[in-house]
Structure 1
Amino acid sequence: MLAMKTALISVYDKTGLEDLATFLHKQGVQLLSTGGTLKFLRDCGLPALSVADYTEQPEILDGRVKTLHPKIFGGILARRANPADMTTLADAKMAAIDYVIVTLYPFVETMKSASATESDIIEKIDIGGVSLLRAAAKNFRDVAVVAQQSDYEALKSLFDSSLDDNAKLSIRKHLAAKAIAHTSAYDAAITSWLGKDFEPYPDTFSVGFSKLQDLRYGENPHQSAAFYRDPLCSETCVANAKQLHGKELSYNNILDLDAALEIARSFPEIPTVVIVKHNNPCGVACSEDLVEAWNAARACDPTSAYGGITAVNRPVTAALAEKMAEIFLEAIIAPSFEPDALAILEKKKNLRLLDCGGAFTAPNNQKMVRSVIGGALVQDRDMGRLTRDDLKVVSKAQPTEEDLQGLLFAWKIAKFVKSNAIIYTNKNATIGIGAGQMSRIDSTKIAATKAQSPVRGAYMASDAFFPFRDNVDLAADIGIKAIISPGGSIRDEEVLAAADEHGIIMVFTGMRHFRH
């Protein structure tokens, strides 16, 4: 039986361990360990007792069973203030274990590895480590538990003689909460992997986000907030981007960056510039010349572009940076920034610059989670995409190839505009955007009002069907050439008759793109 304070240490990630273990040893703490951790500690010149020697039970099943033993879990779970528990320990010659320091096998990293086999992934499902953390967390009144290297300093603080018992209890309880959160996220990742081929919406839906950063505030200054990322997500996204310059990201910045980047990623075949304000695009344009794309995107709504968020799907050049630097922008996200471009933009000390990676990955059909009071809504990501072959021309007037190109461009933008959404475009740039109105006719009017260039001859997209012909009549009044919409209204015949009456091309997609 061990007579002194005891720390059980079993870590996969050895970062910072030598410093912590040396500190514990100097405090008179007995080190108890297994496998690779035991070897590491001894190689550091620290006296460490083998779990196998202490339990008199060697590791079995190729190391699958190391610490699952009554001497270990009894020592962790024994309540120090409970005489019966302490008598049990004494009679069985078990030591009380006071500190449990465990980092888990890298399940997520292994799962995301392209070369990992199913067997490789299974062997990285930690059993003993999770059990140790949960046991120690349960007995936080007597045991301190650490699940991450970032909490090593908190553990050291328990040896501060200036702290009273209540302060130390609070630290242990906080560490326990963090350990349970850590194992919960770990289990959520395993659940996701094991269940991916079965129920898309299981009875219990688990998520395991990890915190990237605390935010100054939420949507409004009186709301607190933090930014979390999904460790299972490896695709191009704001959560995986690297901030190169500027002020700390705000809650609203992150929402707008996400919206802008998703639009830019929708045009992998051509350089594209997107400007977003309040989660709606206020300008999108495609061109082989990025400066031309910027000019066209900004021209759609130059007033709203001021203070906007910009996404570019190609590296930012010095020429583009010069143009963007002419106005106030909150943030720019791109696959990379040329050195000269970075030098130009960094002159604006508050401008947030984000590098989202050199090559855009394909979107994954992950589940989208949205909270409501008392619950959450979970759905598939909107992966709906159309080609020319998917379109159904329903009007007497027939589109040219250029018309189809313009209609598909408008339809791509409609997917990212808050409903009810109406978009006017030419074949590669937005002209007017009507977003978020309760009636579709109002969005149709607003898109025309917002247009900074003539709408005559433009293309019109609607994210959902037209409930009445009034939208088509108004489109004819302002000179719209062709309209793309899902169709499906009980008044489709009336709407189509209006299109034929005005000589407007009408194309149905059979797909809706509501965005709430």
Structure 2
Amino acid sequence: MRALLSVSDKTGIVELATVLHEAGIELISTGGTEAALQQAGLPVKNISEVTSFPEMLDGRVKTLHPLVHGGLLGRRDLDTHVAQMKDHHIEPIDYVVVNLYPFKETIAKENTTYEEAIENIDIGGPSMLRSAAKNHASVTVVVDPSDYTLVAEEVRGGGTSFETRQRLATKAFRHTAAYDALIADYLGRQIGETFPEQLTVTYEKVQDLRYGENPHQQAAFYKTPLYDGMTLAKATQLHGKELSYNNIQDTNAALEALSELTEPAAVVVKHMNPCGVAVGRTISQAFERAHAADPVSIFGGIVALNREVDLETADALRNIFLEIIIAPSFSEAALDRLKEKKNLRLLTLDMGQMTGMRLTAVAGGLLVQDGDDMTLDDASCQIVTDRRPTAAEWEDLKLAWRVVKHVKSNAIVVAKDETTIGIGAGQMNRVGAAKIAFEQAGERASGAALGSDAFFPMADTVEAAAAAGITAIIQPGGSIRDAESIEAANRHGITMVFTSVRHFKH
């Protein structure tokens, strides 16, 4: 029996090769892997001795040869295959241990040139893996060092089982598919492709989850390789229970909203919607305001903060039942205080922006779109009423606008004094969302600002806002009945800004 070993990641390869050698399996290898095995004192045959053909073209051609692929693909159970192999002096190869040129690691480096990326596209490796995986009835293919122990144990016991070879073959095809997906994505980005005719994506598992949205649903958490934006997949958990499916969804929503804010800010999320957002001079003040925005809904919520959590903030957080607190860091005293709550999940993450395309699964398909990265600075703001906003109203309008894009449509956000005081989310009509927000705000709505994710189809929302005491409104505009809303705003002394930018979130 023979084994072909050629790996870029040398982890555990000597130990596996030793087991193969002790089982009487001849070792064949290439380049750096051959040198590592020789240094360990193992007898190893260079691939050129098998093919009687030298490595050439800077190593681009070394295993692409009939004596290699014939040894991998030849079926041992077909007399015609066995006869042809014998006629052409092709010996079977029974084990293939290969991992590929480090393409992902190469393009992840800063200042990697296009030529360097191309030279790190492996051709021979994926070809061998696919050949071996196709013939897994007879050939054991190994791509992951974490599988070396299992393979070694079975080799010591007389050889790998069909079930093991089948599982490893499946893994090999996933491995080459993911590898090709990264290459296709990289090359597509070089030529500016956004929506290609075939979308090839790959993800890497972060962890299995106890269950999905409900206990009867299975789930797992995956990450995008090489994603350079802010992502929960990069967070470090310091304390508490394992994250659940819903925890991850809610925390991602909190981070999306928090990414809008550069001042010391706090975002509280329940069921994918912000229920309290505020900024302040300090992170303690920001959280105090966010808590006061909706002290009922925060129960069991997710809190995201964009400054280090100090002891004062920790004391305030500790008094509330929360699922997760995520922040750039925690002071030692704050961490000790919060760890007193056994199940409270504490996470750290470098804050930044969420970038790239957004993918949403639908039954039998996938929706892909740009992220909603439009800000108020990008909008064409127009004051359409007789009265202009005061300086204080402008600040409240900006906060309402930044938050409303992260609230499920139909969405209305009421803000005052750097804090959201009323949020209406996910309603079937806009005035219904506004009434929920006004009810939550209560008397605090007097003199507050309102933000809407889409235009008012009629003047009823303006009338309801005036009755609640709202004095400033920001909305996209664009309705055929805009004039009615403008007239109502002028009649009630409300200042209104059109942005020409819609922020639906479904």
TM-score by length of 1: 0.95
Partners of 1:335 and 1:124 in 2: CA distance: 35
Q: CA deviation at 1:154?
A: 3.2
- State which of 453, 476, 483 in structure 2 corresponds to 1:493: 483
- 1:9 equivalent to 2:5? Answer yes
- 1:311 equivalent to 2:301? Answer no
Q: In the alignment, which residue of structure 2 is the partner of 1:356?
A: 349
Partners of 2:59 and 2:345 in 1: CA distance: 48
Q: In the alignment, which residue of structure 1 is the partner of 2:65?
A: 69
Cα deviation, 1:22-72, whole Å, max 9, x if unaligned, reads: 222222221111001110111112111111122111111111112111111
- 1:509 equivalent to 2:499? Answer yes
- 1:477 equivalent to 2:458? Answer no
Which SS does the other structure have where 1:305 is aligned?
coil
Q: Is the 8 A contact 1:234 1:240 kept in 2?
A: no
- State which of 456, 459, 469 in structure 1 corresponds to 2:446: 456
Q: Is the 8 A contact 1:397 1:500 kept in 2?
A: yes
What is the one-letter code of the residue matched to 2:222? Answer: Y
Partners of 1:133 and 1:336 in 2: CA distance: 44
Q: In the alignment, which residue of structure 2 is the partner of 1:51?
A: 47
- 1:170 equivalent to 2:168? Answer no
Cα deviation, 1:430-486, whole Å, max 9, x if unaligned, reads: 101100111111110111122266110001000001111110000000100100011
Q: CA deviation at 1:157?
A: 4.2
Q: In the alignment, which residue of structure 2 is the partner of 1:239?
A: 233
Q: CA deviation at 1:410?
A: 0.6
Q: Is the 8 A contact 2:19 2:156 kept in 1?
A: no
- State which of 29, 36, 40 in structure 1 corresponds to 2:32: 36
Partners of 1:190 and 1:319 in 2: CA distance: 49
Q: Is the 8 A contact 1:13 1:103 kept in 2?
A: yes
Which SS does the other structure have where 2:309 is aligned?
coil
Q: CA deviation at 1:273?
A: 0.8
Q: Is the 8 A contact 1:9 1:102 kept in 2?
A: yes
Q: Is the 8 A contact 1:431 1:453 kept in 2?
A: no
- 1:386 equivalent to 2:376? Answer yes
Q: Is the 8 A contact 1:367 1:381 kept in 2?
A: yes
- 1:214 equivalent to 2:208? Answer yes
Which SS does the other structure have where 1:212 is aligned?
strand
Q: CA deviation at 1:310?
A: 1.0
Partners of 1:291 and 1:105 in 2: CA distance: 49
Cα deviation, 1:88-119, whole Å, max 9, x if unaligned, reads: 22222222111111111121221121121111
What is the one-letter code of the residue matched to 1:500? Answer: N
Partners of 1:65 and 1:74 in 2: CA distance: 16
What is the one-letter code of the residue matched to 2:201? Answer: V
- 1:200 equivalent to 2:194? Answer yes
Classify 1:94/1:388 alpha carbon distance in 2 versus 1 (closer, same or farther; 3 Å): closer
What is the one-letter code of the residue matched to 1:220? Answer: N
Q: Is the 8 A contact 2:2 2:92 kept in 1?
A: yes
Unaligned stretches of 5+ residues in structure 1: none
Cα deviation, 1:218-248, whole Å, max 9, x if unaligned, reads: 1111110110000020222101212222111
Q: Is the 8 A contact 1:409 1:427 kept in 2?
A: no
Q: In the alignment, which residue of structure 1 is the partner of 2:313?
A: 320
Q: Is the 8 A contact 2:379 2:500 kept in 1?
A: no
Partners of 1:171 and 1:452 in 2: CA distance: 64
Which SS does the other structure have where 1:405 is aligned?
helix
Q: Is the 8 A contact 1:15 1:149 kept in 2?
A: yes
Partners of 1:416 and 1:14 in 2: CA distance: 46
Unaligned stretches of 5+ residues in structure 2: none
Partners of 2:168 and 2:248 in 1: CA distance: 29
Q: Is the 8 A contact 1:410 1:461 kept in 2?
A: yes
Q: CA deviation at 1:160?
A: 6.1
Partners of 2:310 and 2:6 in 1: CA distance: 49
What is the one-letter code of the residue matched to 1:222? Answer: H
Single out whichever of 174-183 and 15-24 deviates more from structure 2.
Answer: 15-24
What is the one-letter code of the residue matched to 2:213? Answer: E
Partners of 1:493 and 1:180 in 2: CA distance: 61
What is the one-letter code of the residue matched to 2:384? Answer: V
TM-score by length of 2: 0.97
Which SS does the other structure have where 2:414 is aligned?
strand
Partners of 1:361 and 1:388 in 2: CA distance: 19
Cα deviation, 1:163-193, whole Å, max 9, x if unaligned, reads: 9x8xx21211111111111111111111111
Q: CA deviation at 1:18?
A: 2.0
What is the one-letter code of the residue matched to 1:107? Answer: F
Q: Is the 8 A contact 1:407 1:427 kept in 2?
A: no
The 5-angstrom pairing of residues 394-405 of structure 1 reads: 394-405=384-395
What is the one-letter code of the residue matched to 1:392? Answer: Q
Classify 1:192/1:282 alpha carbon distance in 2 versus 1 (closer, same or farther; 3 Å): same
Q: Is the 8 A contact 1:468 1:491 kept in 2?
A: yes
Q: In the alignment, which residue of structure 1 is the partner of 2:108?
A: 112
Cα deviation, 1:342-395, whole Å, max 9, x if unaligned, reads: 2122222211122213xx34442x121111111111111111111297311111
Classify 1:453/1:49 alpha carbon distance in 2 versus 1 (closer, same or farther; 3 Å): farther
The 5-angstrom pairing of residues 18-167 of structure 1 reads: 18-159=14-155, 161=157
Q: In the alignment, which residue of structure 1 is the partner of 2:425?
A: 435
What is the one-letter code of the residue matched to 2:219? Answer: A
Coordinate RMSD, CA, aligned: 1.6
Q: Is the 8 A contact 2:256 2:354 kept in 1?
A: no
Partners of 2:482 and 2:207 in 1: CA distance: 49
Which SS does the other structure have where 1:451 is aligned?
helix
Classify 1:157/1:438 alpha carbon distance in 2 versus 1 (closer, same or farther; 3 Å): farther
What is the one-letter code of the residue matched to 2:472? Answer: A
Which SS does the other structure have where 2:241 is aligned?
coil
Cα deviation, 1:280-318, whole Å, max 9, x if unaligned, reads: 001111112111111100111111101101111112222
Which SS does the other structure have where 2:361 is aligned?
strand
Which SS does the other structure have where 2:267 is aligned?
strand
Which SS does the other structure have where 1:66 is aligned?
coil
Count of residues in Structure 1 that have an aligned counterpart in Structure 2: 505
Single out whichever of 476-485 and 446-455 deviates more from structure 2.
Answer: 446-455
What is the one-letter code of the residue matched to 1:131? Answer: S
Q: In the alignment, which residue of structure 2 is the partner of 1:294?
A: 287
- 1:468 equivalent to 2:458? Answer yes
